[in-house]
Amino acid sequence: MPLDAICLCGITNELNRDLANSRIDKVQQPEKDEIVLLLRAPQLGNVRLVLSCNANQPRVHLTENQKENPMQAPMFCMLLRKNLQGGRILGLEQPGLERVLLLHISCTNEFGDTVSRKLILEIMGRHSNLILVGEDGRIIDCMRRVDITSSQKRQVLPGLLYHYPPKQDGKIDLTTLKQADIIPLVAEMPPEKQVDKWLVETFEGLSPLVARELVHFAAGEASPRASELTGNAKDKLAYRLHTLQQEILAQILLPYGLFDTKSGLPADFSFLELHQYGAKYTGRFFDTFSQLLDAYYTNKDHAERMNRKINALLKGIVTAYERLERKLGYQEIELSAAKDREKYRIYGELLTSQMHTLEKGQSAATVNNYYTGQEERVPMDIRLSPQQNAAKYFKEYQKHKAAEIFLSKQLAAGQKELAYLESVMDELSRADSDADLKEIHSELVQSGYLQKANTGKKQKPEALKLHPHEYRTTEGLQVLVGRNNLQNDQLTLKTAKKNDLWFHTKGFPGSHTILVTNRDEEPSDRCYTEAAMIAAFHSKAAEGVPTDVDYTRVQHVKKPGSAQPGMVIYDKFYTATVTAQNADIAKLKVRK
């Protein structure tokens, strides 16, 4: 969820405690909408403070994540360095329950005088902004400039006086109410209104997630209508609103994260324990809001960046795949027509056998078909002589015969290319790091699907830097799995010994999987089964579905000349049917 006002209250209290009197050593801008302050804090030592006005994930927190910075710093970053570097953070302030954070900073100007600056982060979705304000209250500059063409209500431009974003009309600041004020508000809810939506529309700072949780506490479900609430449920809701008010005022906000029970990935976060999702998510408390937000946003940011890069690579592959599919479809139609070529040879022979009865100018000839014993009507070109018509049919026959040979080869090559492209798409679906994508990019360059950067110099293919995935069977034998097609070739054709066992899913794109054997001992049936399950797991086969996996000795696996990366042929193999479960495979994974 977006960082709501009450979570911002929690992080503000926390940062005020930890960053008071911190020195700003460096200012960086790793993303177009994100500033990182490298601070020397008296309580924590050297730390990194993220201030992001990204439209999808605006936020502020300390981070352990270090991003690569551009070679040339953007103009706004240079401005912040000039104004803030070497300064000290005096404190942080959140006005009311607004999603606005002010950093009060004392620094020195170019004349050596001590001046004050405010660095203001506005966390408002696509309207999020980061604004530097001077002592006179005027804007020095901002991350996003907002002129009158963008907003008639509020402009954010250098030289203008800074004003807070306009408040939402009619909303109540929960922290200003007494318990006696809350009870009648809840009692007078519009009957037809969903309670969680009423809470969001009535109180400042309440996000939809928190509103649903408050209602779930009172009514046992997240989105009932007000008319469906019993008197007891309304009393519980009023009580929970009052306790929430006290928690905010007393600064008792607990960083709480939700994780997908199946994948373990961060799913949501809040300042209170969440129960509305049941067993779908697993929750846990964090020591600080910074730890919580860093875990959530680092994973989310990584996933979004990976998706962008994967989609960029996938776009070209899908285009090539669809183009090849259409081409093969046309070739199959042509091949079907070529297989019907015998009629042209027969027509030619029948015309030749009746040549003495035919004349130029006939549109057809009715002749006896000695193959079937019946009369056959053979079309003729009136512009050609009977001999020329017969020669035309023999030529058409030879043309279709040659076409069948050519098209059969083309279709076979096309099917192999389709299989290769499917294997690349499968690699991309399982890529989980920038290094994975870099090697797949290198593979696509070597395969001719992407152009390599023109540096003016001949470049050798980059050596593979990633190690294969490593597993250990229950009995301790090593299992290695290629991450991409280049690594599959390396693993099978160069790394593995000829007596090692090679596994690959039958009928599905997947990784080469090697069970490293001990020459003196034959692996047990359990080792075979676990290696086959690992091969099925690293393929396009679905989890929990019985999958056929071929296996053989490495010495029986060969790479045809001019074959695409990862494409091999093999013989003297056996097939096992296994069912791979993610949880079982995870237990065998070697963690590095």
- pLDDT tens by residue, 187-202: 999 999 999 999 999 9
Q: Cα(333)–Cα(335) distance, rounded to whole angstroms?
A: 5
Which pLDDT score, from 0 to 100, does residue 507 have?
Answer: 87
Report whether 122 contacts 128 (CB < 8 A).
yes
Which pLDDT score, from 0 to 100, does residue 372 have?
Answer: 86
Within 10 Å of residue 17's Cβ, how many Cβ atoms?
12
Within 10 Å of residue 188's Cβ, how many Cβ atoms?
9
CB-based contacts of 128, cutoff 8 Å, min separation 6: 33, 52, 53, 54, 55, 58, 121, 122, 144
C-alpha closest to that of 92 among 283, 239, 316, 289: 289
Amino acid identity for residue 320 in this structure: A
Which pLDDT score, from 0 to 100, does residue 142 have?
Answer: 96
- 174-291 has which CATH code? 1.10.8.50
List, for residues 5-38, the tens digit of each pLDDT value.
999 999 999 999 999 999 999 999 998 999 999 9
User: What mean pLDDT, rounded, does the chain reach?
Assistant: 90
Ranking 322-326, 463-467, 493-497, 544-548 by mean pLDDT, the lowest is 463-467
Rounded (10°) angle between helices 386-430 and 434-447: 160
3-state secondary structure at position 54: coil
List, for residues 42-51, the tens digit of each pLDDT value.
989 999 999 9
DSSP state, residue 203: B
DSSP state, residue 491: I
Which pLDDT score, from 0 to 100, does residue 592 have?
Answer: 63
Residue 456 has pLDDT above 60, yes or no: no
Q: Which fold has domain 5-142?
A: ibrinogen binding protein from staphylococcus aureus fold (2.30.310)
- In order of 133, 449, 505, the CA distances from 306 in angstroms are 35, 20, 26
Report whether 64 contacts 85 (CB < 8 A).
no
Which pLDDT score, from 0 to 100, does residue 449 have?
Answer: 85
Residues listed for the chain: 592
User: Would you say the C-alpha torsion 311, 549, 484, 69 has a positive or negative sign?
Assistant: positive
Q: Average of pLDDT values for 362-376?
A: 89
Backbone angles phi, psi at 66, to 5 degrees: -115, 115
Looking at per-residue confidence, does 299 or 531 come out higher?
531
CB-based contacts of 573, cutoff 8 Å, min separation 6: 550, 551, 552, 556
Residue 520 has pLDDT above 80, yes or no: no
Q: Average of pLDDT values for 226-245?
A: 93
Ranking 68-72, 510-514, 540-544 by mean pLDDT, the lowest is 540-544
List, for residues 578-587, the tens digit of each pLDDT value.
998 888 898 9
How do the residues of the chain divide into helix, strand and coil, expressed in percent and rounded to 5? 40, 20, 35
What is the full DSSP assignment across 118-134?
A: EEEEE--GGG-EEEEE-
pTM of structure: 0.67
Which pLDDT score, from 0 to 100, does residue 235 have?
Answer: 93
Residue 464 has pLDDT above 70, yes or no: no
Instruction: Provide the b/e sequence for 247-284 (b: ≥16 CB within 10 Å).
Output: bbeeeebebbbbbeeeeeebbbbbbbebebbeeebebe
Which pLDDT score, from 0 to 100, does residue 457 have?
Answer: 52
**Per-domain boundaries in the chain:** 5-142, 174-291, 332-466, 469-588
- Three state DSSP letters for 313-341: HHHHHHHHHHHHHHHHHHHHHHHHHHCCC
Q: Cα(87)–Cα(115) distance, rounded to whole angstroms?
A: 9
Amino acid identity for residue 521 in this structure: E
List, for residues 389-440, the tens digit of each pLDDT value.
999 999 999 999 999 999 999 998 899 899 999 999 998 988 888 888 888 9
Which pLDDT score, from 0 to 100, does residue 96 have?
Answer: 87
Q: Cα(297)–Cα(292) distance, rounded to whole angstroms?
A: 9
List, for residues 79-134, the tens digit of each pLDDT value.
999 999 999 999 999 998 899 999 999 999 888 899 999 999 999 988 999 999 99
3-state secondary structure at position 495: helix
